[in-house]
Amino acid sequence: MTFLDNLSSPADLRRLDAQECGVLAKEIRDYLITTVACTGGHLGPNLGVVELTMGIHRVFDSPRDTIIFDVGHQTYVHKLLTGRRDEFSTLRQRGGLSGYPSRAESDHDVVENSHASASLSWADGIAKARQLKGEDDRHVVAVIGDGALTGGMAWEALNTIAADTSTPPRRLVIVVNDNGRSYAPTVGGFAAHLDELRTTSGYEKLLSWGKETLRQSGAPGRAAYSAIHGVKRGLKDMVSSPQTGMFDELGIKYLGPVDGHDLPSVERALQLAQQFDGGPVIVHMITQKGHGFDPAVNDDADQFHSVGVIDPITGKATPSKSTSWTSVFGTEVCELARERDDIVAVTAAMLIPVGLAKFAEDHPDRVFDVGIAEQHAVASAAGLSYGGLHPVVCIYSTFLTRAFDQMLMDVALHRQGVTFVLDRAGITGPDGASHHGIWDIAMLRIVPGLRLAAPRDAARLTEELREAVSVTDAPTVLRFPRGGVGGDIPALRRLDDGVDVLRESSAGACADVLIVSVGPFARLAGDVADVLEGRGITATIVDPRWVLPVPESVIALAAEHSLAAVIEDGVKIGGIGSQIRSDLREADSRIGVLELGVPDEFLPQGTREEILEHVGLDVETIVDDIVRALPAEVADRAAQSSRRAV
């Protein structure tokens, strides 16, 4: 039996001595590597917080003391220490362990945060509530990554926290997990300030000495980086340093920097913070993303921030057999930038995931990574547009919700030509409720002047991206899902307003059902039409290409059918189907509209296929829904025709 086998709660952890904790830390890293290699997940961030998380749970008493992690993808160690080891084989799978904090899993999980920079606001509110209720013996501990501190909301919270002069003081400890990265290296002035703190404290000098010693000894370069922490004993006295720089100006007590991989130093710093009676405390922990796993440490791109299934020894991933939507976009936006000097790219700490790595390599002065600051990214893009450039803002669909005000009031109101590229749109899969990009269409539908495209294949993605960046007086949006793009789906013909007709029955305009496929559902729509035909129901399939505003030809075609069925993977409330229903009503048409989208609820984690089936976006369910929605006379005729065929 290992120490990890015998650990079911933080109380078990607190019974271990220093030597036993060292063994446990190695067991945790080994377990994470072998387990996440099979399931996929955020490996690098969690390998970097093993001792940090152990120290927090040894000093503080969760759940009586509230621990909040920002961003929540760094909570795998926390989950292991709070009794969820047996569930790790189901990590990020349907019905399994969440890759983020989850209240449904444990009382130790409080904030289900997978969107960054919210932890300090939560911590401020919880600490105020504890104070007002007289619970002065309970601490709130917020663990915030240095990348999350690039978000404006974190600084809004710090501004409030620093101004607190209440008596007795609130018991609030802010642990800054400084690994120099959010996804890629952390950007911005605050990152530079943390670098300065490392340098002025002597931390970087100590690490440089360790690196040079290893080099001279012939150690294998970066693969031996973890050995540098053999110099960590020299860092122990740094935890009692006075308030420093920016934090001094804010008026918040500062402790550090601390070697986040030296558990005794971590515990000592946290104990000092716990005992401090003068208000909020910031503890600056320096960690290494991927610590203890050479393939992650040696990965210059993102240090195994998020991995799929990999070899637990080499870290090698199984090569994908299909081209991703993201890579198609990345290739085309580079081509556009070669053709047009005014094309610039903007992203919010997601340069690699959204496909801009090659763009940054080819045009380093024309890509702007603003950190985890989507609001600033969008408002800044409005300024870039006003200055005569055409910015392409590249973010995940789920994160656009954070910048809706800027989209509406800075871009659309001012009629600035900005193109938004929403990766991971629709149902995304294993990251769960907060990462499904199912709200973008309903949200953007109310933005005046906005045009939104949903490509069905790679050819349409490149085509529609070029159309989007040609618009100079309004926002344009291009959305596509996660995963492989599949083969191209040719159209039978293109209508005057750009709508592609993908299928027509021999009945032509007199077909029973008009199927409107949004984005990559064109292939699913074809499968549905095949089954309907077997039941004696004829169908026309159209891909609007530009789905907002709804093209006039789609409304005209719908009026010529008995039913319009709209397949989309956004929420039905406010979706494309809802818009078509509204447009038909304004046209005084009584044609029924079947909205085949996502219910208005937070969806679980799982594969895209599992969740599509869960919400009824599979062939069998869609066919049944269409048959039930058809006018009675059409359904009866189809049934009779089907019986005759049998």
Helix axes 576-586, 552-559, angle to 10 degrees: 70
- State CA 598 to chain mean position distance: 19
* Residue 487 in domain: no
Q: Is 93 exposed, middle or buried (0-12, 13-18, 19+ CB in 10 A)?
A: middle
Compute the distance between CA of residue 241 and CA of residue 231 in angstroms, rounded to an integer: 19
For residue range 201-255, what is the model confidence (pLDDT) as tens digits?
A: 544 544 454 445 445 544 444 343 344 444 333 333 334 443 455 666 777 899 9
Of 445, 479, 513, which one is at a domain's C-terminal end?
479
Whether residue 630 is found in the same domain as residue 564: yes
- Worst-scoring range by mean pLDDT, 134-143, 231-240, 353-362, 450-459? 231-240
pTM of the model: 0.86
- Name the pLDDT band for 430 (thresholds 50, 70, 90): confident
Report the CATH number that the domain containing residue 510 is assigned in CATH.
Answer: 3.40.50.920
The one-character DSSP state at 551 is: P
- Tell me if 320 is assigned to some domain: no
In a domain, 63, yes or no: yes
The side-by-side arrangement of strands in the sheet containing 390-396 is 367-369, 343-347, 390-396, 419-423, 476-479, 451-453, 546-548
Strand partners, 177: 145, 285
pLDDT in tens, 245-288: 566 677 789 998 999 999 999 999 999 999 998 889 999 999 99
Q: Determine if the peptide bond prior to 551 is cis (ω within 30°).
A: no
Pair 503, 637 in one domain: yes
Tell me whether residue 632 is annotated as binding.
no
361's tokens:
């390599």
The response to whether 114 counts as a known ligand-binding position is yes
The answer as to whether 303 is a domain residue is no
The separation between CA 416 and the C-alpha centre of its own chain, rounded to angstroms, equals 26
Assess if residue 3 is contained within a domain.
no
Are 529 and 461 in a shared domain?
no
**pLDDT in the model for residue 242:** 39
Judgement on whether residues 375 and 512 belong to the same structural domain of the protein: no
**Does residue 564 share a domain with residue 449?**
no
- Any known ligand binding at 179? yes
Q: How many domains does the chain divide into? A: 3
Query: Where in the sequence is the domain holding 634, given as residue range(s)?
Result: 493-645
How far is 500 from 421, CA to CA, in rounded Å? 22
435 annotated as belonging to a binding site for a ligand: no
pLDDT in tens, 405-420: 999 999 999 999 999 9
Any domain includes 475: yes
> From CA 106, how far away is CA 112, in angstroms rounded?
11
Find out whether 166 is annotated in a ligand binding site: no
Rg of the chain's alpha carbons, rounded to an integer?
27
Q: Is 289 a catalytic residue?
A: yes
Regarding whether 335 and 291 lie in a shared domain, the answer is no
Say if 595 falls within a structural domain. Answer: yes
- Residues 512 and 458 reside in one and the same domain: no
- Model confidence pLDDT, tens digit, residues 128-149: 999 999 998 999 999 998 678 8
- Closest-CA residue to 139 (of 281, 17, 299, 237): 281
Please tell me whether 60 is known to bind a ligand.
Answer: no
**Same domain (yes/no): 504, 450:** no
> How many residues are recorded in the chain?
646
What is the pLDDT of the chain when averaged over all its residues?
88
Q: In what order do the strands lie in the sheet with 563-571?
A: 493-494, 500-503, 539-543, 513-517, 563-571, 592-598
**Residue of 289, 424, 456, 482 with catalytic role:** 289
557, 450: one domain: no
Q: How many CB atoms lie within 10 A of CB 260?
A: 32
Residue 361 in this model has a pLDDT that exceeds 80: yes
Domain match, 545 and 431 both:
no
Whose CA is closest to 100, among 124, 83, 116? 116
The predicted model gives 16-23 an average pLDDT of: 95
- Look up 79 and say whether it is catalytic: no
Residue 349 reports pLDDT greater than 80: yes
Which one of the listed residues 51, 374, 467, 595 is annotated catalytic?
A: 374
In a domain, 224, yes or no: yes
Last residue of a domain, one of 479, 501, 524: 479
Is residue 441 located within the same domain as residue 535?
no
Q: Is position 374 annotated as part of the catalytic site? A: yes
Domain final residue pick, 479, 509, 533: 479
pLDDT > 70 fraction of the chain, expressed in percent and rounded: 87
From the candidates 402, 451, 460, 503, which is the catalytic residue? Answer: 402
Same domain? For 278 and 346 the reply is no
Is the pLDDT score of 643 beyond 80? no
DSSP label at residue 185? B
CATH code, domain carrying 207: 3.40.50.970
